[in-house]
Amino acid sequence: MQASSRTCWASVGVNARHAIARQRFQHRAQINRPTLRVVAASVPTKQGGVEAPTQNGAGLKAGKSPDTAGGQLTPSPNMQNPDVYNIEGEDWHKAALSMVVVGASGDLAKKKIYPALFALYVEGHLPEYFTIWGFARSKMSNEEFREYIGQSLSCRLTDKGSCEGKFESFLERCYYHPGQYNNRDDFAALSEAMTEPEKKRKTADRVFYLSIPPSIFTQVAACASDAASSPTGYTRVIVEKPFGKDSESFRQLSTDLYQHLTEDQMFRIDHYLGKELIENLTVLRFANLIFEPLWNRSFIRNVQVIFSEDFGTEGRGGYFDQYGIIRDVIQNHLLQILSLFAMEPPVSLDAEDIRNEKVKVLRNMSPISMEDVVIGQYRGRGNKQGYLDDSTVPEGSLCPTFAAVACFIDNPRWDGVPFLLKAGKALHTKRAEIRVQFRHVPGNLYKNRMGLNLDQTTNELVIRIQPNESIYLKINNKVPGLGLNLDVQKLDLSYKTRYNKHLPDAYERLILDVINGDKRLFIRNDELEAAWDLFTPILKEMEQKQMAPELYPYNSRGPVGSHYLAAKYGVRWGDMTDNPEEVI
C-alpha cells in the first residue's frame, strides 16, 4: 500500500503537487487562522517553563483578516517556492508594508539595517507599496534623517548602475518620527503617520525592528501593542540579542514580552544564522547522500566550531564587559550552529519541525563542567593595547575575551564525540568555521608512507562561514610521479571563484524572512531556555569564584590552556595552520 501511494504521488506533475500542497496548507490555515494573520506553525503553549500565549491570547491588537477568496495570495518577490517551507504568501498587489526601525539613530540601524533594506530594494525583494520609518528620541526632520542614513548606503551589488539609479527613490520612502520609547502617545502618532501611505491598500502589514537595548524591549512592545498595531494585517516584531544574561533574566524578559506579544509575532534574530554557509548547512547534509551516513560517532572523531576576531574591543569595552565572550558569542552564535549541525533529520522544512530538532539537541547535551572550560583575556603587545588598557573597561575587570568549551551530546548519534567551541578577540586571524575531523582509516595500508600523526592523515571537512566562504574536504592523495609519496590535498568549493554573484548580507536574508513569515532561522523561546540552562551554572560559578582569565598576547593563538583542553580529548585545533584569508 505504501509503495503504491508513493507511485501515485510521483506520477502527479510538479505543478499539480505544488497545488495540492498549497491547498492542504491553506486548509490548515483556515482552520486555525491566527487572529493577527501571523503565518507560522503553532508552537507549544508552554515553552521552557514560560507560558507562551497562543495566537488568540494576549498580544498586539487583533486586526481584520483580508478577504482571500477573491484570488490566490502571492508571496514577496524572493519566495519562489513558498510551499516548500509551508509559508503562506501575502498578496502584495493589495497589501502595503510599513517597516519601523526603533532605535533608528543608532549604529546597528545605520550600518546594518538600512543598508540591508536598501539592498533588498535594489534587488526587487521588497513589495511595491512599502515605507520605512525610523523611530528614536533624537530630533530630526525627514531630510536630515535621509542624509544621515544615506551616508551608509552603498552599491554592494554587481550592477552598480542599477543600484545608483535607485538611491534617491529608496530614500524617498524613508521617514523619521521622533518620540520616547515609553510614550504611547508618540507611538499613536507614529501609527497615524503610517496610516496615510497605507490607506490606499486593502491590507497594511507592519514590522517593528527593535534596534535598542534589552532594558527597554518591554516598554516598546507595550507601546506598539497598545498604540501602533496594524488594524488590517499582521504585526511582527524583530528582537535583537542579548536575550538576558542568564536563565533567570531571560525568563523574566520572556514573561514581560509575553504580556504584549505572542510567540508567533516575535522574531528573535541571531544574524549568524542568516549567513550563506549556515543556510547551506542543512542542504549540504540532507541533500547529499555521501554525508548523512557519515554524520555520526562511528565516523566523526570531533567537531570544532571556531569564531575568532583579529581585533579587540576598540573602545567598546564598556558594553562588552557587561556580557563577556561566552554570553556574546558562544551561548548564542556557536551553540545555534552546533544545534543545526547535530540535529536529527526534521520531518519537513517547516520552521517548527527544524526548531523542534534543534531543541532536542540542546536538551540532550550534558551539563558543562568548569573542567571543560578555558577562559582568557588579551594583554597588550607592541603598539596594541590590552583589554584592561581600554579606557571604557572597568579597572581590574575579569571579563573573558576568549573562551573554549568542550561539549557532549548524550544521544545515540553523538555519544562520546567532543564538540569543541572556541571564540575570542585579538587572535591571530579573523574567521568563523566548522571543522569536522573524521576518524583514522582502520588497518591503513599506507601507514608507512603517511606516518602515525592522526591529525595529518585523517580526513577533515571544513565549512568556512567567513571570510572567503568555502567548503572543502581534506583527502590523502598520491603525489604524481614514479615513486609512492602521499600528501594531503583539498577538494574545494570556493564561493568567490565558483559563483560570480553577490552573497547577501545576513541581515538581508533575515529581514526578508520576517516579511515572508519564515521562522526557520529565528530562535524559539524554548531554544533559548535550553541554551541558558547549559551555560548559566558555569557563568555563575566563574563570577562567584572570581576566576581570573589566563592572559594571552594580542594577535596570538589564544591561551595555552585551550590547547591542553583540546589535547585532553585527543584533539588538535584545526585552525592552527590554515590561513582563512587565502582564496582556496
Please state the rounded mean pLDDT for residues 472-495.
88
Lowest mean per-residue pLDDT among 124-138, 139-153, 438-452, 499-513: 438-452
496-543: pLDDT as tens digits: 889 877 788 899 999 999 998 899 999 999 999 999 999 999 999 999
Euclidean distance between CA atoms 399 and 373, whole angstroms: 14
Distance CA(93)–CA(127), nearest Å, equals 8
Q: What is the pLDDT of residue 8?
A: 42
Asked if residue 169 lies in contact with residue 181, where contact means CB atoms within 8 angstroms, the answer is no
Residue 195 burial (10 A CB sphere; 0-12, 13-18, 19+): middle
- The pLDDT > 90 percentage for the chain reads 58
pTM: 0.82
Which three cell numbers mark 303? 567537531
Residues whose CB falls within 8 Å of the CB of residue 465, separated by 6 or more in sequence, listed in order: 272, 275, 277, 278, 432, 433, 434
Cβ-contact 438, 300 below 8 angstroms: yes
- CB count within 10 Å of CB 121 equals 19
Residue 99, classified by CB atoms within 10 Å of its CB into exposed (0-12), middle (13-18) or buried (19+), is buried
- Among 93, 333, 428, 563, which one carries the catalytic annotation? 333
Q: What is the mean pLDDT of the chain?
A: 83
Confidence (pLDDT) at 503 = 84
Q: Which residue has the higher pLDDT, 197 or 530?
A: 530
> What confidence tens digit (pLDDT) does each residue in 539-581 have?
999 999 999 999 999 999 999 999 999 999 999 998 876 655 5
- 492-to-471, 555, 584 alpha-carbon distances in Å: 6, 28, 7
Give the residue-averaged pLDDT of 169-182. 92
What does the chain come to in residues?
584
- Can you give the pLDDT at residue 239? 93
Instruction: Say if residues 219 and 18 touch (Cβ distance below 8 Å).
Output: no
Nearest Cα residue to 441 out of 475, 468, 415: 475
Q: Is the preceding omega at residue 467 within 30 degrees of 0, hence cis? A: yes
Dihedral angle at the C-alpha atoms of 552, 555, 556, 561, nearest 10 degrees?
40
d(CA 528, CA 530): 5
CB-facing half-sphere around the CA of 495: CA atoms within 13 A? 17
pLDDT digits (tens, 9 = 90+) for 35-71: 333 333 333 444 444 445 443 334 444 343 333 333 3
- HSE-CB at 107 with a 13 A cutoff on CA atoms is 2
Q: Give the single-character DSSP code of 154.
A: -
- Residues ≥6 apart with Cβ < 8 Å to 577: none
**Is the CB of residue 404 less than 8 Å from the CB of residue 302?**
no
Cell triple for residue 258? 509575553
Residue 470 β-bridge partners: 464, 494
- Cα–Cα distance measured from residue 497 to residue 319, given in angstroms and rounded to the nearest whole number: 38
Q: Across residues 197-201, what is the average pLDDT?
A: 85
For this structure, is 563 an active site residue?
A: no
d(CA 147, CA 141): 10
pLDDT of res. 51 = 47
Can you give the pLDDT at residue 162? 63
Identity of the residue numbered 35: T
